Amino acid sequence: MQAEVQQLVEMGATPAQARAALRQYSDVMQAAERFFEGAFDHVKDDQDEPMASTSESKRRPRPATPDEDEDIDSDGIQEDDEDDDEGDYIDYDSDYEAKPGGGQADVDPYSGIFFSKDRREEVIEVEEKPETVVIPDLNERVKLMTQGQWMKGCPEGGEQSFLFSLYSQLSEGKCPCPHGCGTSVLRKKSDFFAIYSEFLTYTEQLRKIVRQTCNSCGSEFCLACGESISSDKVQRPTAATDDNPLFHCSNLQGIILGVGLSMLEQLFTEQAQVKQESKEPNARSAKRRKTDITPELDDDDSHYYASGKKKGGIGYAGETKEDNTGQLEAQAIQHAKDGKIGNLLKAIRIYLPNLHREGGGQTSDYLVHPTALAHLRRRFNYICSTLLRHDSLADMSDRAVLYFELLHWLETISNHEALASMMAMPIMVVVSAKNVPVKKSTSSNTDIRERTIVYEGSSGPRELLEAIAIQAQAALKGLEGIKPPEPPQEELTEEQKRMTIDPKGKSKEQAVEISDENKKLLDFCHRILATANAIDRSLRDTKGDAFVDRLHASLPKLYNTSSAPIHVDAGATEESAMKAYMEWATRVRFEYCDLTIPEADAITNDENATPHFKFYFNNEARMLANSDIPKRSLAIAKELAILTTNLPVAWDSSIFLRVDETRVDVIKALITGPEGTPYYNGCYLFDIFLGSSYNQAPPSVKYMTTNGGKYRFNPNLYADGKVCLSLLGTWSGPGWVPGKSTLLQVLISIQSMILCDEPYLNEPGWASSAGTPQSHAYSANVRRMVIKTAMLGNLKNPPEPFADIIRTHYRLKARSITAQLDSWLLKDDGKPTSADGGGYTTGGAKESGGSSNGLKKDVEEMKAVLAQLDREAQAGKA
Question: Does residue 575 sit in helix, strand or coil?
Answer: helix
Query: CA–CA separation, 722 vs 714, rounded Å?
Result: 11
Query: CA–CA separation, 148 vs 736, rounded Å?
Result: 51
C-alpha of 618 from chain center: 36
228, 219 in Cβ contact below 8 A? yes
Query: CA–CA separation, 864 vs 277, rounded Å?
Result: 55
Q: Which amino acid is at 352?
A: L
Query: Residue 26: which of 5, 49, 53 has the closest Cα?
Result: 5
Going from the C-alpha of 174 to that of each of 134, 177, 195, 203, 228, the distances in angstroms are 21, 10, 22, 22, 15
Residue 673 is classified by DSSP as B
Query: CA–CA separation, 89 vs 84, rounded Å?
Result: 10
Of the chain, the end-to-end C-alpha distance in Å amounts to 61
Going from the C-alpha of 664 to that of each of 138, 254, 467, 477, 483, the distances in angstroms are 60, 49, 20, 8, 9
C-alpha of 341 from chain center: 20
Query: Residue 654: which of 693, 611, 684 has the closest Cα?
Result: 684
What are the φ/ψ torsions at residue 782 (nearest 5 degrees)?
A: -60, -45
Going from the C-alpha of 523 to that of each of 391, 398, 518, the distances in angstroms are 18, 12, 9
The strand pair at 683-689 and 140-144 is best described as unpaired
Helices (H), 11-90: 15-24, 28-36, 54-59
Query: CA–CA separation, 563 vs 93, rounded Å?
Result: 37
Any idea what the Cα angle at residue 307 is, between residues 303 and 312, rounded to 5°? Answer: 125
Residue 731 is classified by DSSP as S
663, 595 in Cβ contact below 8 A? yes
Q: Annotated catalytic, 724?
A: yes
As to burial, measured by CB atoms within 10 angstroms (0-12 exposed, 13-18 middle, 19+ buried), residue 636 is buried
Which residues are 659's β-sheet partners? 592, 667
How many Cβ atoms are within 10 Å of 711's Cβ, its own excluded? 26
Going from the C-alpha of 871 to that of each of 569, 666, 698, 802, the distances in angstroms are 12, 36, 44, 21
C-alpha of 808 from chain center: 27
Which residues are 457's β-sheet partners? 428
Query: CA–CA separation, 239 vs 505, rounded Å?
Result: 45
Region of 501 on the Ramachandran plot (φ > 0 left; ψ -120 to 50 alpha; else beta): alpha
Query: Residue 839: which of 765, 786, 767 has the closest Cα?
Result: 786
739, 394 in Cβ contact below 8 A? no
Residue 758 is classified by DSSP as -
Residue 361 is classified by DSSP as B
Catalytic annotation, pick one of 177, 525, 724, 756: 724
Q: Which amino acid is at 860?
A: E
Q: Work out the angle between the directed axes of helices 400-415 and 327-349 (0-180°, nearest 10).
A: 20
The strand pair at 655-660 and 590-593 is best described as parallel
The strand pair at 666-672 and 683-689 is best described as antiparallel
What are the φ/ψ torsions at residue 770 (nearest 5 degrees)?
A: -60, 135
**Residues annotated as catalytic (active site), given as ranges:** 724
